[in-house]
A and B are shown apart, each in its own frame.
Chain A
Amino acid sequence: MKVAILSGKGGAGKTFTSVNLALSAESCVYADCDVEAPNGGLFLRPETPVSVQEVSVSTPRFDADLCTKCRACVDFCAFGALAFIGTPLLFDEICHACGGCMMVCPVGAVSEAPRGVGQVEEYGCGSINVIAGRMNIGESSGMPVIRSVLREASRLESASDLVILDCPPGTACSAAECVKSADLCIIVAEPSVYGAHNLRMAHDLVSFFGKPCGVVLNKSMPGENPSKEYCLSSGIPILADIPFDREVAAALAGGRPAVEESPSLRAVFRDLLQRIRKELGEDSGEYAAETEVSAR
C-alpha cells in the first residue's frame, strides 16, 4: 500500500511525518517525491551503497543537412519550445519531450537524444528502502523525475507492505501525480490561518481523486486551531495531533529524526502507523506479510 504525505502549504511537516513514520515501521519504502527541494536524505542517510539512476527525457536534435526549412516542427510545437532562426532552434527547458516535431518532420531530419533532468537515488537505511528523486537545477518541470520515483516505488511495493510518498508542497500537477498513485493520503496541517486554507485545498485535491484521507495536525499549540476546526466540520479523521516542541524543532534543524530523540513522539508515530493500517482496513493477512518482509 502506498501512503502519500502531502500538505498544500510548505513547511507543515511532510518530511518530518514521512521520515518518522518510516523509522517507526518495521520495514518500508520511503520515496522522496519533493524533487525540487529533496530533504528526506538528510535524515535517512545511506547505510548501503547508493545506486544512482539518471533520469532523462528525449529531446529533439535537428540535422541541418537534411532540414528543408519547411518549419513544420516549429508550427507543430504546442509549447513554443522551437524557434526558427535559419534552422530550428530548441529551448531545452521549455520542451515537453512529446516527440511531435520528430513525428511531423517530412524528411526525417529530427532525431532524439536523451537529456538529463535529474537523478533517482536508491539505498538502504536500516530496514528502510530509500528512493530519492532530485531535479537538476534550472529545470522547470520535476514531473519526469517524480514519475521515475513513483515507478521505482511501485517496483519495490511488492516486497514491502508500506510505501511512504513524501510529496511536493502545493496542490498542482506534481502533488497530483503522487496522490493519483496512493491508496491513502495523509495531509499534514499547521495550526494557522494559512495552514487551514491550504489544508482545504489539499483536501479538494484528494477528494478529486476519490482517495481516502486523514489529517496529521502538526505543531499544535494551546488555543485555536483553524486546521482542527476544518477537520471537525468536514469530517476528516484526525490521525495524530503533534504538539509544537522547540526541542523537536532543534533536532529537525540539526538533521536528527525526532523519534530517535523523543520517547513521546515514538509513541505518537507508532499510534499513527496503527491508525493508517486501520484506515486502510487491513486484515491480519497484511500483518503476516509484514513479518515476512522484516525477516528478509
Chain B
Amino acid sequence: MKQLLILSGKGGTGKTTVATALVELSGTRAFADCDVDAPNLHLSTKVCAPSEQTDFEGMPRAFVDTSLCTGCGACESRCRFGAIRVHDFAQSLDSASANCALDSVRRELARADSSPLASGGRRARVDRISCEGCRVCMHVCPEGAISMTPEVTGKTIVHASTDEVFSTACLRAGAGNSGKLVAAVKRNLTERASLLNEDAHAASPFAVIDGSPGIGCPVIASLAKVDMVLIVAEPSASGISDVERLLQVVGRLRVKVALCVNKADVDSASTQRLLELCEAASIPFAGAIPYDHCMAKNVSEGVFTWDGPGYEAVRQVYECVSRMLDDREG
C-alpha cells in the first residue's frame, strides 16, 4: 500500500486536522500517527479493532551497582553527555530536596533503596534522561560496577484487525530515541496493512501517516519509504521560514511532494509567498484551505459535516494528492 506522510515544519499548522480529513475522505483503512511525543490522531479518528500495547525499549541505559562503585570518577570524566556524576550520598539527598534539577537523581536514589545510603560515601549516579546509552562509562569503570539495563521509553499501540489498522505510539515524557519509536510505528503499520483483507485493501487507496513538527530525527525516521509528502503550511512569517527548512530536508530524497496552505485567508500576502515558493521549487500546490473554525473544531472531535468552505478546500487537496499518488511517472 502506498504511503502518504503529512509534515509541516512548524507545529500547529493543521497536520492532524488534514490527516483526519484525508482518512475520512479516502476511506482508507490504514493510518498511523508518527508524532510520538504529542500524538493526537487517535482523538479524531474512529477504529473498532481493539488496541494492543507493547512496551518500547529505547537504548539500554547505564546502571551503577553502588556496592561495587568506589566513586573514582573515571566514568564522569569520560561521559560526553553529563549523564553520570559522582555524588556524596548524604549530601546529594539534601541538595536534591533544595534543587529540583536533581530530581531525577533523587528518584533514582529512592528506587535503589538497597544501596548503602545510610553509610554515605561517594558513588556514581546516572541521570537516565541524559544518558544516551553509549557504554563508554561501562568500558572505563575499573571496578566493573556499571552495566547496561533496558529502559522502557514508551509504548507502541496498534489497533488492527483484517478490516483496519491504526498504528500509533506514545513516548514517555522526556525520553529520547523518538526516531526509533517512529520506525516501530511504521513497521507496525506496514506489517498489519499487509494482513488486511481484500475489501479493506480495495477501500484503501493509500495509508495516511500523520507526522511530527520540526526537521529532526522523528521527521527523518518517518520519511523512510513513503511515496509522497504533503506539507501543510501556515501563512505566516514563522510558517514560511519552517517550510523553507523542511523543503531542504525533503528535497534530498526522491519522494513526491505537494504543499497545501491551511488558514490561507489569515494572511494572504504570506499565502502568496508560499505559492511562489512552490513555483520556485516546482512543487504542486494542492490547495488553499480557508480559516474555518467550525471545521477545525468538528474534525478534532471526529465530526464531519462536509459542509462549508474548509471542507470544500480539503476535498480539493484530497483530489490533488490522489492524482499524484496514482501517477506512476511523477
Binding site for B on A (CB under 8 A): 7-12, 15, 34, 36-37, 39, 42-43, 76, 78-79, 93, 96-100, 103-104, 135, 137-142, 168-176, 179-181, 183, 190, 192-194, 197-198, 201, 204-205, 208-211, 221, 246, 249-250, 252-255
Query: Is B204's beta carbon under 8 Å from chain A?
Result: no
Q: B263 → chain A, closest Cβ, in Å?
A: 8
Find chain B residues with CB under 8 A from A96 CB: 80, 132, 134
A172 and B174 contact, Cβ closer than 8 Å, known pairs A10-B11, A42-B241: yes
Find chain B residues with CB under 8 A from A98 CB: 80-81, 132, 134, 136
Binds A, one of B64-72, B114-122, B213-221, B322-330: B213-221
Find chain A residues with CB under 8 A from B10 CB: 10-11, 37, 39
Q: CA A210 – CA B99 in complex, angstroms?
A: 10
Query: Is B280's beta carbon under 8 Å from chain A?
Result: no
A-B residue pairs in contact (CB < 8 Å), sample of 29: A10-B10, A10-B38, A11-B12, A15-B238, A37-B9, A37-B10, A37-B238, A76-B139, A79-B59, A96-B80, A97-B80, A135-B215, A141-B217, A142-B216, A170-B178, A173-B176, A176-B174, A181-B101, A192-B300, A194-B40, A194-B44, A201-B173, A205-B174, A208-B174, A249-B266, A250-B266, A253-B239, A253-B270, A254-B270
Q: CA A8 – CA B12 in complex, angstroms?
A: 10
Q: How many A-B residue pairs have CB under 8 A?
A: 199
Q: A184 → chain B, closest Cβ, in Å?
A: 10
Q: A213 → chain B, closest Cβ, in Å?
A: 11
Partner of B174 from A9, A171, A253, A254 at Cβ < 8 Å: A171
Query: Is B301's beta carbon under 8 Å from chain A?
Result: yes
0/1 string, B272-312, CB within 8 A of A gives 1: 00000000000000000001010011001100000000000
Q: B209 → chain A, closest Cβ, in Å?
A: 17
Most buried by A among B36, B78, B174, B217: B174
Evaluate contact between B40 and A37: CB separation under 8 angstroms.
no
Query: Is B104's beta carbon under 8 Å from chain A?
Result: yes
Find chain A residues with CB under 8 A from B217 CB: 140-141
Size of the B side of the interface (Cβ < 8 Å), in residues, is: 68
Q: A19 → chain B, closest Cβ, in Å?
A: 10
Q: CA A141 – CA B245 in complex, angstroms?
A: 15
Query: Is B43's beta carbon under 8 Å from chain A?
Result: yes
Using a CB-CB cutoff of 8 Å, which residues 116-130 of chain B contact chain A?
129
Evaluate contact between B37 and A171: CB separation under 8 angstroms.
yes
Find chain A residues with CB under 8 A from B140 CB: 103
Evaluate contact between A139 and B40: CB separation under 8 angstroms.
no
Most buried by A among B12, B140, B270: B12
Find chain B residues with CB under 8 A from A176 CB: 129, 173-175
